[in-house]
Amino acid sequence: MPRGTPRYTADTKLNKRGRPAFSFAAVKRTVGLVTEFYPRLFPAVCLLTVFSSAVSAIPSIFTQKVIAIIGEWTESGDWTAAKALIVRQIAPLIVLYVLSLIAVVLQTQLSAVLTQGFLSKLRRRLFDRMQNLPIRYFDTHKHGDIMSHYTNDIDTLRELVSQSIPAVLRSGAVVLVVFCIMLWYSLPLTGMILAGVAAMMLVSGKLGGGSAKFFVAQQKSVAAAEGFIQEMMAGQRVVKVFNHEASSAADFDALNEELCENARRAHAYANTLGPIIMNIGNILYVLIAVLGGAYLLSGLPNPAVSGMALDISILVAFLNMTKQFTGNINQLTQQVNAVVMGMAGAQRVFELMDEQPEADAGYVTLVNAEIAPDGTVSESERRTGHWAWKHPHGDGTLTYTELRGDVRLVDVDFSYVEGKQVLTDINVFAEPGQKVAFVGATGAGKTTITNLINRFYDIEDGKIRYDGINVNKIKKSDLRRSLGLVLQETNLFTGTVMDNIRYGKLDATDEECRAAAKLAGADDFITRLPQGYGTLLANNGSNLSQGQRQLLAIARAAVADPPVMILDEATSSIDTRTEAIIQRGMDKLMEGRTVFVIAHRLSTVMDSDVIMVLDHGRIIERGSHRHLIEEQGTYYKLYTGAFELE
- SS3 (DSSP) at 75: helix
Model pTM score:
0.71
14 found inside a domain: no
- Average confidence (pLDDT) over 56-76: 67
Contacts of 333 (CB under 8 A, 6+ apart): 200, 204, 208, 273, 274, 277
pLDDT at 584: 66
468 exposure class (CB count in 10 Å sphere: 0-12, 13-18, 19+): exposed
For the chain, percent of residues with pLDDT exceeding 70: 85
Q: pLDDT digits over 109-127, tens only?
A: 999 999 999 989 999 999 9
pLDDT at 11: 40
Residue 70 pLDDT level (bands cut at 50, 70, 90):
low
pLDDT at 69: 62
- Which of 342-346, 597-601, 634-638 has the largest mean confidence? 634-638
pLDDT for residue 9 is more than 50: no
- Which of 256-270, 340-354, 615-629 has the largest mean confidence? 615-629
Characterize 123-144 residue by residue with b for buried, 16 or more Cβ atoms within 10 angstroms of its Cβ, and e for exposed.
eeebeeebeebbeebeeebbeb
Sort strands 461-466 and 469-470 into parallel, antiparallel or unpaired: antiparallel
Cβ 303 vs Cβ 189: under 8 Å: no
Q: Where are the beta strands (DSSP E) in 386-519?
A: 387-392, 398-402, 407-414, 423-430, 435-440, 461-466, 469-470, 483-486, 495-496
Residue 64 pLDDT level (bands cut at 50, 70, 90):
low
Residues 99 and 248 occupy one common structural domain: yes
- Alpha carbon distance 420, 485 (integer Å): 27
pLDDT at 498: 93
Cβ 333 vs Cβ 200: under 8 Å: yes
Look at the chain and report how many structural domains it folds into. 3
pLDDT for residue 208 is more than 70: no
507 found inside a domain: yes
372 exposure class (CB count in 10 Å sphere: 0-12, 13-18, 19+): exposed
16 found inside a domain: no
pLDDT for residue 154 is more than 50: yes
- Select from 311, 323, 71 the least CA-distant residue to 186: 311
Greater confidence (169 vs 311) lies with 169
Cβ 195 vs Cβ 288: under 8 Å: no
487 found inside a domain: yes
10 found inside a domain: no
- Point out which residues pair with 412 in neighbouring strands: 426
Residues 376 and 483 occupy one common structural domain: no
pLDDT at 241: 60
Q: pLDDT digits over 327-380, tens only?
A: 888 777 777 667 777 777 888 888 888 888 888 889 999 998 888 888 888 888
Cβ 526 vs Cβ 514: under 8 Å: no
- Point out which residues pair with 461 in neighbouring strands: 413
pLDDT for residue 425 is more than 60: yes
pLDDT at 235: 72
pLDDT at 572: 64
- Select from 142, 144, 269 the least CA-distant residue to 205: 269
646 found inside a domain: no
pLDDT for residue 238 is more than 80: no
Residues 241 and 254 occupy one common structural domain: yes
- Which of 140-149, 350-359, 479-488, 614-623 has the largest mean confidence? 614-623
pLDDT at 140: 83
Greater confidence (383 vs 501) lies with 501
- Which of 234-243, 466-475, 553-562, 591-600 has the largest mean confidence? 466-475
Residues 383 and 503 occupy one common structural domain: no
pLDDT for residue 27 is more than 90: no
pLDDT at 204: 66
pLDDT at 436: 93
pLDDT at 371: 87
- Average confidence (pLDDT) over 404-420: 90
Cβ 161 vs Cβ 184: under 8 Å: no
pLDDT for residue 431 is more than 80: yes
Residues 213 and 269 occupy one common structural domain: yes
- Select from 485, 468, 476, 463 the least CA-distant residue to 403: 468
Residues 300 and 373 occupy one common structural domain: no
Greater confidence (20 vs 247) lies with 247
- SS3 (DSSP) at 382: coil
pLDDT at 319: 82
pLDDT at 4: 33
Residues 393 and 502 occupy one common structural domain: no
Which of 353, 374, 391 terminates a domain? The answer is 353
358 found inside a domain: no
Which of 328, 353, 378 terminates a domain? The answer is 353
Length of the chain: 646
DSSP state of 471: G
Residues 123 and 37 occupy one common structural domain: yes
- Select from 60, 120, 65, 118 the least CA-distant residue to 89: 65
pLDDT at 17: 43
Q: What are the two backbone dihedrals, phi and then psi, of residue 365, each rounded to the nearest 5 degrees?
A: -120, 165
Task: Report the CATH number at residue 169.
Answer: 1.20.1560.10
Residues 471 and 376 occupy one common structural domain: no
Residues 377 and 302 occupy one common structural domain: no
Residues 462 and 531 occupy one common structural domain: yes
DSSP state of 152: I
Task: Report the CATH number at residue 515.
Answer: 3.40.50.300
pLDDT at 8: 34
- Alpha carbon distance 266, 284 (integer Å): 28
pLDDT at 620: 93
pLDDT for residue 438 is more than 90: yes
- Alpha carbon distance 617, 412 (integer Å): 10
Residues 319 and 201 occupy one common structural domain: yes
Residue 212 pLDDT level (bands cut at 50, 70, 90):
low
Residue 512 pLDDT level (bands cut at 50, 70, 90):
very high
pLDDT for residue 23 is more than 90: no
Q: pLDDT digits over 462-498, tens only?
A: 999 999 999 999 999 899 989 888 887 788 888 899 9
Q: Which domain holds residue 489?
A: 407-640
Q: pLDDT digits over 513-542, tens only?
A: 999 998 888 888 999 998 999 999 887 787
Average pLDDT of the residues of the chain? 82
522 found inside a domain: yes
